[in-house]
């Protein structure tokens, strides 16, 4: 497809389970971002990849959160031992160029995660 | 502290009205983005600007660097404009910092 694709669209898990969220960026886009959006709030930065390199993971809220992009295209955000406060929409975005240059970010539709 | 504030939080308008959504930020920035988010979560980038004014169709975005303020204007509003409008800025730490968004409802 032409846009950023995220899967699954919805995920329900029990507290304590591990989850994995997938992001397929636009083909050829160098930069990939993950954001967390709590209900009624704006998105908050989690982590940034330039190709396969994770250059910034300062927004990951705890060591239960782990992200990877091993071949510089598809990325996976993994949350271990999920907690109720992890319930949120997880957004992925990609952009054509490297770095934090002033360029548009293209967003996916997000994965809505609910922890019971 | 790098902060982004949007006002009003919720906005209701009648179809055809001229709408203004505001965004203010705390310190100097390198760029400001206006984003549109529909129910279901998908976000569309409307504008990216660092100075002056941009126009696309019925949408106009302006920024005043000295006053640390930006506005998004919608002319001849339509029910399909109903969405959450989010302002995001790039501060010196380079990450995008997002406002909470404004929920706009345009009634037919």
User: What DSSP string describes B48-95?
Assistant: EESSEEEEETTEEEEEETTTTEEEEEESS--GGG-EEEEEEEE-TT-S
Beta-bridge mates of residue B61:
B54, B72
Q: Which two tokens stand for residue B96?
A: 């995008």
- Mean pLDDT to the nearest integer, A41-46: 93
Instruction: Give, as one character, the DSSP assignment of residue B30.
Output: S
For chain B, 108 residues long, the average pLDDT of each consecutive 10-residue run is 85 96 89 90 88 95 94 96 94 83 95
Count of alpha carbons within 13 angstroms of residue B92, beta-carbon side: 5
- Mean pLDDT to the nearest integer, A73-92: 97
Q: How far apart are CA B11 and CA B15, in angstroms?
A: 13
The residue that leads in pLDDT, A88 or B42, is A88
Nearest residue on chain A to B92, alpha-carbon basis: A100
Nearest CB to B41: which of A45, A48, A112?
A112
Q: What angle do CA A58, A36, A48 make, to 5 degrees?
A: 40
Nearest CB to A89: which of B41, B44, B86?
B41
The residue that leads in pLDDT, B36 or A98, is B36
Burial of residue B108 (number of CB atoms within 10 Å: 0-12, 13-18, 19+): exposed
Instruction: Report whether A105 contacts A99 (CB < 8 A).
Output: no
Among A100-104, A108-112, B23-27, B83-87, the range scoring the smallest mean pLDDT is A100-104
Q: Residue A103 has what pLDDT?
A: 79
Q: Residue B93 has what pLDDT?
A: 63
% of chain A beyond a pLDDT of 90: 88
Q: Residue A101 has what pLDDT?
A: 66
A98 pLDDT tier (thresholds 50, 70, 90): confident
Measured between beta carbons, the chain A residues lying within 8 angstroms of B30 are 102
Place of tokens 């009648």: B14
A54 pLDDT tier (thresholds 50, 70, 90): very high
Instruction: Report whether B73 contacts B59 (CB < 8 A).
Output: yes
Contact B95 A110 (CB under 8 A): no
Q: Residue B92 has what pLDDT?
A: 74
Measured between beta carbons, the chain B residues lying within 8 angstroms of A91 are 41, 43
Kindly report the backbone phi and psi dihedral angles of residue A61, in degrees, each rounded to the nearest multiple of 5, phi listed first: -70, -25
A82 pLDDT tier (thresholds 50, 70, 90): very high
Report the candidate in B41, B2, B50 with the shortest Cα–Cα distance to residue A21: B41
């Amino acid at each position: 497809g032409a846009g950023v694709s995220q899967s699954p669209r919805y995920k329900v898990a029990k507290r304590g389970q591990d989850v994995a969220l997938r992001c397929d960026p636009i083909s050829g886009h160098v930069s990939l971002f993950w954001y967390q959006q709590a209900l009624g709030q704006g998105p908050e930065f989690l982590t940034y990849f330039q190709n396969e390199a994770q250059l910034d993971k300062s927004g990951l809220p705890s060591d239960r959160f782990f992200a990877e992009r091993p071949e510089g295209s598809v990325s996976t955000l993994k949350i271990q031992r999920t907690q109720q406060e992890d319930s949120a929409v997880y957004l992925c975005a990609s952009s054509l160029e490297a770095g934090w240059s002033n360029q548009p970010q293209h967003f996916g539709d997000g994965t809505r995660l609910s922890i019971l | 502290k790098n902060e982004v504030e949007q006002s009003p939080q919720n906005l209701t308008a009648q179809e055809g009205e001229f709408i203004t959504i505001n965004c203010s930020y705390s310190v100097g920035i390198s760029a400001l983005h206006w984003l549109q988010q529909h129910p279901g979560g998908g976000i569309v980038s409307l504008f990216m600007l660092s100075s002056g004014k941009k126009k696309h169709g019925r949408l106009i975005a302006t920024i005043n660097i000295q006053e640390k303020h930006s506005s998004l204007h919608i002319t001849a509003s339509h029910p399909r404009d109903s969405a959450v409008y989010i302002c995001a800025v790039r501060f010196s730490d380079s990450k995008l910092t997002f406002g909470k968004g404004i929920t706009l409802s345009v009634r037919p």
